[in-house]
Structure 1
């Protein structure tokens, strides 16, 4: 297997079809990969257990690539919580994005079409009920889960608007929220609606969605440490700071993902650990990407390896 899939000459050195020469992706790039490898420290294990016992969210802070987002997959797999529900926060995210979406324009359009068909004497489809236009968000789906807790990743909460952590407080404390369109459709609160969840499943809810106390979601917040959070929000979380890995821990991580590369690439691992120790702005997956390439069947030569290191191990602040 050749390292040079692309030569820049305009002519492929591989037989037709040339794209067949592209090897399989790294295992962590596969959509349907097995349970992701994750090396947890005893301190992190204790923090997770504390959050589980207390029914509190876990707030993980650490540099990009430190494994914050991967932890929730390990928790969900070990506790058999099903598919992880994910909410990737941006500066424009609001609380309702996490709880539900209501397609008011879609419902209005359907009503206008139905009215036009009635006037034309045509048959009208009976799919205009309000529940057809409500979709639960990731956190809303978890709170509506009737038979088991669900794992929810709320990723990069530090990217949010300043008000969002405070807006989450009541939902985190009470485990309930209103869906106003459903409340208006049934002021008595007796009707059960069937709505779509963020996992494409169907959920039976009322206008007020209340979590089963025993099934309160397992919530993991991640933060890159780019801002401070208000004390009321922090009080409701179990907090843990992901430490920068040393040489031995990096070897454990590499071994979990790449097996024998942990023993053959000791110098590269030690050099990467030294850069982290000196404050380098690097992510562990940069090291994994490099070692996957240089230890694979199509490993590059010495000169190409040097160029790869310059490209793949560049500091994340652009230096």
Structure 2
């Protein structure tokens, strides 16, 4: 093995070093254009190995139903959304990560009420009364303070479904799944701040949750026109919700979703994933085959994710470490942490 360590700990400063190309699942720098979402590379690299996954995706598309995907971390739950977007040319995946504090309104839109109030107060300081045209123009300025969230953007009218990933829905407040029910059934929502002004301001142009400037299909939708404060879809969005199986959901919510359970890949499926991301020949090595088998045994007893195996194999392929190196044990720890003792 070559001396691959860039950082040596010898306290000698040096600029004479260079990093090799990054792993395919960690694309940065030259692998991404400015303004391009890094997550979308999953669509090109994710390997679907289960025919049932394909069937459930198609069923969700046909039935206009959300697809609830449950599985352990690292099984590719969220990657399916990017794979569908890539193959069906649906543009940028609208990403909505869920926390315990997330509310339905967070996903629909954000209104900067403080900024709007400050603008109104400044306009009131003008000693000259405003004409009707000026008053209407002033009211229309509300559009600068409203931005659609990922869920709200997904419901914008379009010929083909927009694609929305609601990640880790099981982390949500207990009310959020129920709050989504009506929205999934009706396919539209109102923005009260705009509805109140619909007589004076019929339409406004607001920002959306689209950020990827390189996606031709959806880059033009980084702003959207809303009429009379109502956002209503023409094509129901393709919605994927992911869950780690950490909680149960209300029965009405489950009835309105199609459900898919992601299984951890077996040895043959892992080999296909490794060939896609790392190299074809590396899977022929006896020491790597043994490493894969050991990984599966540990994974079935704990919480190891596939990318932890890929991390180790990337270093092995680069000729940096051997399969019996201590760093393999550290990378593939169940909790993904390394303890360091102080001298």
What is the TM-score when the length of structure 1 is the normalising length? Answer: 0.88
Give the equivalent residue in structure 1 for 2:27: 30
21-30 or 79-88: which moved more?
21-30
- Counterparts of 1:80-99 in structure 2, within 5 Å, are 80-99=89-108
- Of 178, 190, 204 in structure 2, the residue corresponding to residue 193 of structure 1 is 204
Question: CA shift at 1:150, angstroms?
Answer: 1.0
Residue in 1 aligned with 2:118?
109
Matched residue SS, 2:328: helix
Give 2:55's match in structure 1, choosing from 46, 62, 65.
46
Residue 301 of structure 1: CA displacement? 5.2
> What is the deviation of 1:316?
2.8
Task: Provide the residue aligned with 1:275 in structure 2.
Answer: 298
How far residue 312 of structure 1 moved from its aligned partner, in angstroms, is: 0.7
2:255 aligned with 1:238, yes or no? no
2:253 match: secondary structure: helix
3-state DSSP of counterpart to 1:158: helix
Q: CA deviation at 1:209?
A: 1.1
Whole-Å separation in 1 of the counterparts to 2:307 and 2:336: 16
The match for 1:78 is 87
Partner of 2:8: helix, strand, or coil? Answer: coil
Q: Is the 8 A contact 1:28 1:36 kept in 2?
A: no
Instruction: State whether structure 2 residue 223 is matched by structure 1 residue 202.
Output: yes
Corresponding residue for 2:289? 266
- Mapped contact 2:107–2:152 kept (Cα < 8 A): yes
1:170 Cα offset (Å) = 0.6
Q: Distance in 1 between matches of 2:296 and 2:7?
A: 32
- Residue by residue, what CA displacement relative to the aligned partner does 1:158-214 show, whole Å, maximum 9, x if unpaired? 0000000000001111101111101111159x82221111115111112121110xx
RMSD (Å) for aligned C-alpha atoms: 2.4
- Distance in 2 of aligned mates of 1:36 and 1:315: 28
Q: Which residue of 2 aligns with 1:256?
A: 276
**Counterpart selection for 2:310 from 278, 282, 288:** 288
Partner SS, residue 168 of structure 1: helix
1: distance between equivalents of 2:336 and 2:27?
27
Cα offset, 1:102, TM superposition? 0.6
C-alpha separation in 2, matches of 1:312 and 1:146: 44
Do residues 133 (structure 1) and 145 (structure 2) align? yes
2-side partners of 1:191 and 1:120: how far apart? 26
1:270 Cα shift? 1.6
Structure 1 stretches lacking a partner, 5+ long: none
2:159 and 2:59 map into 1 onto residues whose CA distance is 23
Give the direction of change, closer, same or farther, for the CA distance of 1:286–1:120 in structure 2 (3 Å limit): farther
Query: How many positions carry a matched residue from both structures?
Result: 304
**TM-score, normalised relative to structure 2:** 0.82
The corresponding residue for 1:159 is 171
Q: Report Cα offsets for 1:261-286 as digits up to 9, x if no partner.
A: 33332121121122233x22111110
